[in-house]
Structure 1
C-alpha cells in the first residue's frame, strides 16, 4: 500500500471510519511487528480524525507503559485501576468519558484533554494493552467510535 492515506474530511464520522478501516487493514497486513503496526494505526487515526491525542499503552508486568502515539507528550506509566486507561485495563472493557473532569481519579496528562475513549486490546483472552484517544472537545466520543475502534483493534489479531 502507498504510504499516503486517502483522508476524507467532508463526511460524517461513520463514513470516515468506513474509509479508514480498510486502509489501516491494508497498512498492517503482512507486517508482524506489533510496534510498527501500533505506530501506523496511531498515525492513521490522528491524520484522519485530527484528535488531540491517540496512542497505545502496553501491559508490562504490573502497569501500562506508553507505546506508540501521536500528540503531545504523555504519561509514561499507569497503574492498573488508575485513570481511564487503568480502569479500562482492570475492567477489560471500553470506557467512554464525555467529560474527563467528572471521571474519578482521571490522570491529567494534558490539561487540554476534555473527553476520552479507551479500549482494551486482547490477546488469548488477556488484556495486553489499551488504545487511548483524547479530544479537546466535551462529549466527543460515542458508540460509533467504540464500534469502529474495536474493529481496528481486532485487526491486530488477524
Structure 2
C-alpha cells in the first residue's frame, strides 16, 4: 500500500492489501479484495491458497 503513490485506501488504517481477480469463461466476473492493518501480512503460501480459492470460485461460476 505504501509503495503505491496512487493507492486509494478503504480506510486510514489499511497497510496492506491483496486483490485477486476472478475470471470465468474468459471474462472478469469478480475479485477477492482483502485489506490488513499490518504491513506484509500475507505469506506466499497464503496468497497461493487465495489464488487457488479464486480459481475454484471461477470454475463454480462457470457451472451456473
TM-score range, shorter chain: 0.7 to 0.9
- Structure 2 residue ranges without an equivalent (≥5): none
Match of 1:110 among 11, 26, 29: 11
Q: Provide the residue aligned with 2:22 in structure 1.
A: 121
Q: Provide the residue aligned with 1:146 in structure 2.
A: 47
| C-alpha displacement of 1:142 | 3.2
| C-alpha displacement of 1:128 | 1.5
Matched length? 59
Query: For residues 4 and 27 of structure 2, what CA distance do their matches in structure 1 show?
Result: 25
Counting only pairs closer than 5 Å after superposition, residues 44-123 of structure 1 correspond to structure 2 as 100-123=1-24
- Listed one character per residue, the Cα deviations across residues 56-114 of structure 1 (whole Å, up to 9, x for unaligned) are xxxxxxxxxxxxxxxxxxxxxxxxxxxxxxxxxxxxxxxxxxxx122131112101110
Q: State TM-score, norm by structure 2.
A: 0.77
Q: Provide the residue aligned with 1:77 in structure 2.
A: none
Say if 1:129 and 1:104 are closer, same or farther in 2 by CA, change over 3 A: farther
Say if 1:126 and 1:104 are closer, same or farther in 2 by CA, change over 3 A: farther
Query: For residues 142 and 122 of structure 1, what CA distance do their matches in structure 2 show?
Result: 23
Structure with higher RCO (Cα < 8 A, 6+ apart): 2
Q: Provide the residue aligned with 1:37 in structure 2.
A: none
- Structure 1 residue ranges without an equivalent (≥5): 1-99
Over the aligned positions, Cα root-mean-square deviation in angstroms equals 1.3
Query: For residues 112 and 146 of structure 1, what CA distance do their matches in structure 2 show?
Result: 21
